[in-house]
Structure 1
Amino acid sequence: MTFTLEEVRLSTYKARDAWWTVFLVDPVAGRLVVATANRTSITPNQLTWGAFVLGLGSAACFLMAEWVWLAAGAFLYHLSFVLDCMDGKIARLKGTGTVLGGWLDYVFDRIRVFTCTLALMGGQYRVGGQEVYLFLGVAVVFLDMLRYMDALQVGKVRRQMRQKLRKAIREASPADPAALTGGLPSGKPGLDADPDPDPDPDADDGEAVIRTARTVDLQQEFRSRFAWYLRIRDWLRDHRVRTHLVSGIEFQMAVFIVGPPAGGIIPVTVGAGALLLLFEVAIVYKLWLSSRDLARALAEIRRARPATVG
């Protein structure tokens, strides 16, 4: 079977992704996937291992601490990320994803971040003796794990909120199977063959709607407070870009690709870390507003329940 670029886009591109991936990785990775899928027998796991080896090569370059090596390390890190994106695309395209592949992808991602951080900041400390690089190293590893764990937890809470609302609606209308007709956000991609290494905690933005005999919108208060944001959100969605503009991916790319060759490791890392935290706070704030919408919706359902169940 011969795959086309259009087939790769339709079956492997995520509905929404980090802007770095959408604009700087997918245009290259998609074409490489076509060539790899059509002309070779390379497996997703082999690509995962290749990305891991390139990541270690990037760390070795960072450790040298000289500009030419920092630039080489940045290039290898980006190439490693391209391969890291390709493995999932190949798995989805050919249906060859495995549980082991998903585990390897996640573990290798975390090891790559840790080793590159250790090499980059350790190399700079070895050359200049500035202790600030040691603190930055700890901060980078901490923020990488915080971002990932927070995204998973926020996603879990959103699912629990929808489940709680569905349960309340079913209990309010037990004899009416049409009372709950849906509830899963539309436009979602299928299950990936491996877990997203940078899950989007804001994935329900604009789509957190439970469709019942009436529509319950869990983003109602946010929309009313930030109506100006909706145009920006729609533009980003039309271009497949997450509204979470500084996620774990952008943070890593700033630290390992932008900062080293630009000669601005400290300011770039600090700036990217601050933006990452800002967007995490924004996500938590939106979640808090959604919880208020949920509380109001549940209260309305309880008040209407006696009339509904007669």
Structure 2
Amino acid sequence: MTTTESDTTRDEPRGMLGEIARIYRDSRKEQDIFWNVYVARPLAAVLLYFLRRTALTPNQVTFLGAVAFLGVAAALILMRDWTGMLVAAAILQFAYILDCADGQLARLKSMTSEVGAYLDFLIDEVKALILVGAFSVRLWLVHDELVWLLVGLGGMALVSIATSLTNFVRRPEYAGRDIKPGESARRKSGAPKGLMPKALWLVQSFASWLVHYPSWFVYLALLDGLDGFDGSAWFMYLFLGVYALYAGKTGLGVLVKLGRPGFYK
């Protein structure tokens, strides 16, 4: 054991809390976002304390998280007041803790696999479709405006198009190499130098944060209790807005790269 590891072990509490701290340390990712480091993954480590010696596999935990996520849609549609948003936020965070726990369990049990990473990506996109659909139905029922159902249909189509574009540009035939799910999150990406590159980096970082809705859904649910603030509508504006920008940017890149006559030379 190195000096650093020895110091870390001494600093950790003994007993159950010490074991949870060890599980968190041994199963976390090297590069991760703020919400995961300080909220989701520590809570997932508590869950793993009870799951680590069971027969549950990482993929089974992934499926459990997907089933739990259906409760988010149910709360949004059936409880169309502030309470519904708060309940949806609580269920969403529980489902996301399971989403974190599957990868942590895989690393803890040495059961990581490429197909597991692709399954995670698939389930995440299905959750995005469910969330957009649930919010559109909620807004339609609350405001009695058919346009929200049309927004929901268009939004679900947009999410599907963006997902298809992501799968396409990751193909080795297009990218020149095989890009695995989550690879961009593992790269160290500090702020670049220069005013314009830094501004673009800030915009991209903000857009990435918006796509990762578990990081801010709780704040949105709390703000939904304010008079005149429609958290459901704001979710659609922000979430679908960033998806539209991504689909436009990525689609334009594919058009420029593959549409030029020189591509066949």
Pairing 1:156-195 to 2, within 5 Å after superposition: 156=171, 160-161=175-176
Give the deviation of 1:51 after TM superposition: 0.9
Find 1:247's aligned residue among 208, 211, 220.
208
Query: Which is bigger in relative contact order (C-alpha 8 A, separation at least 6)?
Result: 1
Counterpart check, 1:149 vs 2:164: yes
Structure 2: distance between partners of 1:206 and 1:107: 25
Give the deviation of 1:74 after TM superposition: 2.0
Counterpart check, 1:49 vs 2:63: yes
Pair 144,25 (structure 1): closer, same or farther in 2 beyond 3 Å = farther
Counterpart check, 1:272 vs 2:248: no
Give the deviation of 1:45 after TM superposition: 2.9
Give the deviation of 1:205 after TM superposition: 7.7
Find 1:13's aligned residue among 25, 29, 32.
29
Find 1:93's aligned residue among 108, 113, 131.
108
Counterpart check, 1:67 vs 2:89: no
Pairing 1:225-240 to 2, within 5 Å after superposition: 227-228=194-195
Pair 247,287 (structure 1): closer, same or farther in 2 beyond 3 Å = farther
Give the gaps of 5 or more residues in structure 2: 1-17, 225-229, 256-265
Give the deviation of 1:84 after TM superposition: 0.9
Where 2:111 maps in the other structure, the secondary structure is coil
When Rg is computed on C-alpha atoms for both structures, the one with the higher figure is 1
Structure 2: distance between partners of 1:68 and 1:232: 38
Q: Which residue of 2 aligns with 1:133?
A: 148
Pair 78,11 (structure 1): closer, same or farther in 2 beyond 3 Å = closer
Give the deviation of 1:151 after TM superposition: 3.3
CA contact (8 A) 2:20 2:46 kept: no
Pair 206,257 (structure 1): closer, same or farther in 2 beyond 3 Å = closer
Give the gaps of 5 or more residues in structure 1: 164-190, 208-222, 237-242, 289-310
Q: Percent identity?
A: 21
CA contact (8 A) 1:246 1:275 kept: yes
Where 1:247 maps in the other structure, the secondary structure is helix
Structure 2: distance between partners of 1:25 and 1:39: 21
Q: Which residue of 2 aligns with 1:77?
A: 92
Segment of structure 1 superposing worse, 254-263 or 132-141: 254-263
Q: Which residue of 2 aligns with 1:166?
A: none
Where 1:246 maps in the other structure, the secondary structure is helix
May I ask how many residue pairs the two structures share in their alignment? 234
Structure 2: distance between partners of 1:228 and 1:20: 27
Structure 1: distance between partners of 2:47 and 2:173: 33
Structure 1: distance between partners of 2:21 and 2:166: 31
Question: What letter matches 2:137 in structure 1?
Answer: G
Pairing 1:266-305 to 2, within 5 Å after superposition: 266-278=233-245
Find 1:116's aligned residue among 109, 120, 131.
131
Structure 1: distance between partners of 2:102 and 2:90: 19
